């Protein structure tokens, strides 16, 4: 399907504003990231991102983790009604491991919380290039472990925990599942994650997949952006490590997965190949490619409501079925 005019306009506006922080030297990223955040918090950006449902309670809090003094910042979304203790979904935002924040995911998290009747906890993990691989992934695992360690404080059921993420967050979500599985295999305590929702995830840091060549320029993300973000995240580390490139991992024993991809997205084949690899490893997987959609649709609920709401409904139904 043809890319909608509204998305083509967003791509043109983005290029006019100077493109992506992925093209910058590491030392220049923090200041550029702050400039992006200022734009994101403006009225036009808020209209693009969409308004979350008003009957979902939202609370900012901190999760105690040993690596971060004072703990990781999180945002907790509680639906109007749910079980007690409730199932929980840990959300990991996108942004190429380099940018993004809790506000970016608010529309998506609030809608999933409401439709899945689950508590959603969105994690503000540390970002590259100040914190390169594997720090963001470890932060995300530590957040899940901290929730499971004190479920009463959060009103959640530690036996019904799912992880969810878009783009870089999709990578981090499935890497958290790998970390938990590996710890259990080693005989150590680890969260028992029962589902993973991966929205246009990036899962390969070294090889260039076909969709990156077929769709070199797209409204929200380009193939050059992908390579730039990966370089900033790795900071010279080995990109073939399975916790960086989960497409290279042993995927046996992972929880059931929903993988969503977008037709007009250079990351499309990342999700396609990963869904196939999960199925080949005996993991229950559902894979949906959203036609006419571009990267970023769960962060553009105000601009792309039809695709965004359909994606939310699918994600929420998957969570409900598996938690």
* Active site annotation includes 295: yes
Cα–Cα distances in angstroms (integers) from residue 279 to residues 166, 257, 272, in the given order: 20, 9, 11
Per-residue pLDDT of the chain (323 residues; tens, 9 = 90+): 777 776 776 666 565 555 689 999 999 999 999 887 777 777 777 888 899 999 999 999 999 999 999 999 999 999 998 888 999 999 999 999 999 999 999 999 999 999 999 999 999 999 999 999 999 999 999 999 999 999 999 999 999 999 999 999 999 999 999 999 999 999 999 999 999 999 999 999 999 999 999 999 988 899 999 999 999 999 999 999 999 999 999 999 999 999 999 999 999 999 999 999 999 999 999 999 999 999 999 999 998 999 999 999 999 999 999 99
Q: Of 111, 241, 273, 295, which one is the catalytic site residue? A: 295
Which CA distances in Å does 96 have to 227, 231, 242, 247? 10, 10, 17, 17
- What is the model's pLDDT at position 18? 52
Are residues 147 and 63 in contact, defined by beta-carbon separation less than 8 angstroms?
yes
* Alpha-carbon distance values, 246 to 83, 229, 241 (Å): 33, 16, 8
Q: How many C-alpha atoms does 182 have within 13 Å on its Cβ side?
A: 13
Residue with tokens 């916790």: 243
- Residue 50: per-residue pLDDT: 92
| Residue 86, C-beta contacts closer than 8 angstroms, at least 6 positions apart | 78, 117, 118, 119, 155, 156, 157, 160
Kindly provide the b/e burial profile for residues 255-285, where b requires at least 16 CB atoms within 10 angstroms of the residue's own CB.
Answer: bbbbbbbbbbbbbbbbbbbbbebbbeeebeb
Q: What is the pLDDT of residue 185?
A: 98
Residue 294 to residue 185: CA distance in whole angstroms: 38
Q: Which value, to the nearest 10 degrees, does the dihedral of the CA atoms of residues 211, 213, 216, 218 take?
A: -10
In whole angstroms, give the CA distance from residue 66 to residue 262: 37
Task: State the residue for tokens 């979350």.
Answer: 52
Catalytic residue among 167, 211, 245, 308: 167
Can you give the pLDDT at residue 72? 98
Choose the catalytic residue: 101, 166, 265, 269. Answer: 265
Annotation says 167 is catalytic: yes
């Amino acid at each position: 399907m043809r890319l909608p005019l509204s998305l083509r306009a967003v791509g043109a506006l983005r290029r006019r504003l100077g493109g992506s922080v992925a093209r910058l030297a590491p030392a220049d990223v923090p200041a550029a990231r702050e400039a992006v955040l200022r734009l994101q918090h403006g009225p036009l950006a808020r209209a693009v991102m969409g308004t979350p449902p008003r009957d979902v309670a939202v609370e900012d809090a901190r999760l105690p983790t040993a690596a971060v003094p004072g703990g990781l910042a999180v945002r907790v979304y509680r639906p109007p009604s749910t079980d007690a203790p409730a199932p929980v979904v840990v959300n990991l935002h996108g942004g190429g491991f380099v940018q993004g924040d809790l506000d970016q995911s608010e529309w998506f998290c609030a809608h999933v919380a409401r439709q899945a009747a689950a508590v959603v906890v969105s994690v503000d993990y540390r970002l590259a290039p100040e914190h390169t691989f594997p720090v963001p992934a470890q932060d995300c695992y530590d957040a899940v472990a901290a929730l499971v360690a004190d479920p009463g404080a959060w009103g959640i059921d530690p036996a019904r925990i799912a992880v969810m993420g878009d783009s870089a967050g999709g990578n981090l979500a499935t890497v958290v599942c790998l970390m938990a599985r590996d710890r259990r295999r080693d005989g150590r305590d680890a969260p028992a994650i029962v589902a993973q929702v991966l929205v246009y995830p990036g899962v390969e840091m070294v090889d260039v997949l076909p969709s990156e060549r077929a769709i070199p320029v797209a409204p929200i993300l380009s193939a050059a952006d992908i390579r730039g973000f990966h370089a900033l995240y790795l900071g010279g580390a080995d990109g073939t490590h399975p916790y960086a490139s989960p497409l290279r991992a042993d995927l046996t024993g992972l929880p059931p997965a929903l993988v969503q991809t977008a037709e007009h997205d250079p990351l499309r084949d990342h999700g396609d190949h990963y869904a196939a690899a999960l199925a080949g490893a005996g993991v229950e997987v559902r894979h949906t490619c959203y036609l006419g959609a571009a990267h970023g649709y769960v962060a553009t609920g105000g601009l792309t409501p039809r695709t965004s709401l359909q994606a939310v409904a699918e994600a929420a139904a998957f969570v409900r079925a598996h938690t």
